[in-house]
Amino acid sequence: MALEKDLFDISGPLHITSVNWKCSHHRRSVAACLVQGAYISELDRQHNRKGQEAFAPPWWEFFKFELTSNLVDDADSSIFGAIYEFKPASSKDSSVQDAPKFVVAFRGTIPSKESLAQDGLLDINIIQNGLHRTGRFAIAMQAVQNIVSAAKSSNVWLAGHSLGAAIATLAGKNMAKMGILIETFLFNPPFVSAPIERIKDTNVKQGIRIASSFLTAGLSFALKDRQERSTPDDSFAKLSSWVPRLFVNPCDFICSEYIGYFEHRNFMEKLGVGGIERLATKNSIGGLFLSALGKDSDPLHLLPSANLTTNLSPSPDFKIAHGIHQWWRPDLHLQSKQYRYG
């Protein structure tokens, strides 16, 4: 299959002959490759490739990582993630001081008959704000907690792509709520919303976002319990010190809404209605209604802070715009900006 040939091609990252752990391009590329390792590990399992026949190991061994363990879904026995440990040739080398000791990486959906059913079910759970109730996330969360217990949080990275980015987001948020901040790389993370960012007319797009902000803020005020409104403890604000690294492509409708989500905050501040947007940005209409029905709901895409990197390079089709492979290319046209809530 041509698709598999593309997935297994490790020639792209080979331009990094020596990793500079202070370099944002190198850090991003390594994180993306380790996520790719989780993808290929599952494909190796599906095709019964073991030992020297396996295609996955080069994706981590090239960067001096060892596979500590695979994360396996109880429902279908698929490999959905991996835990890597950094094993440099010499620990005395000062150049590796900024490297992570451990990386927990999660793959996204694989469109094959062996894994699509369970992956697809989890994708639906993301739309329904129910990922936190799934068995796969429970396994992932336990793995993250175990690694953080074994090593300082400053020595741990989380990374994920698409569905895997959703898992990494939720795990990172949960740890941040406990006061533990983990460096997190989210590639093409899902944003459950109408694809407003795809609208070409800027005025129409801004008009829809403004109306949505006022509607969401109004519903939030109306549906939230009075006691909750008067409570100074704001879990959303508590998360603001956690700044995950988001990598999105404007041509990818799955993640492109993050661009408008963060830019709209600044726009509303300039209009003098920042207070309305601060209320709207920590709620979603769907989440509010689920909460009103007594269902716990914490939409994944609601993030207080982020370092948002947008790939402005040409993306002729969805496969390229949503693909993990774009994030280790050396010739990317990237635009990065940090957003802080408050």
Question: Which of these ranges, 49-58, 279-288, 296-305, has the smallest mean pLDDT?
Answer: 279-288
pLDDT tens string 24-54: 999 999 999 999 999 999 999 999 999 999 9
Task: Give the model's confidence band at 269: pLDDT under 50 very low, under 70 low, under 90 confident, else very high.
Answer: confident
Q: What's the start-to-end Cα distance of the chain, in Å?
A: 49
339 - beta bridge partners? 306
With pLDDT > 70 as the criterion, what percentage of the chain qualifies? 76
pLDDT tens string 128-185: 889 999 999 999 999 999 999 999 888 999 999 999 999 999 999 999 999 999 999 9
3-state percent helix, strand, coil for the chain, nearest multiple of 5: 50, 15, 35
pLDDT tens string 64-119: 999 999 999 999 999 999 999 999 987 666 678 899 999 999 999 999 989 999 99
Does an H or E element contain 187, and which? strand 183-187
> What is the predicted pLDDT for the residue at 176?
94
> What is the predicted pLDDT for the residue at 250?
94
> What is the predicted pLDDT for the residue at 264?
76
> What is the predicted pLDDT for the residue at 152?
82
Say how far apart CA 219 and CA 284 lie, in whole Å: 9
pTM of the model: 0.87
Sheet holding 65-72, edge to edge: 65-72, 79-86, 102-106, 156-161, 183-187, 245-248, 306-311, 334-339
Mean pLDDT of 223-242: 63
pLDDT tens string 299-330: 788 899 999 999 999 999 999 999 999 999 98
CA 19 to chain centre: 23
Residue 228 CA: distances (Å) to CA of 168, 222, 224, 225, 338:
28, 12, 7, 5, 30
**Pick the residue with more confidence: 86 or 207?**
86
Say how far apart CA 251 and CA 321 lie, in whole Å: 6
Question: Which residues have C-beta within 8 Å of that of residue 69, sequence separation ≥ 6?
Answer: 82, 83
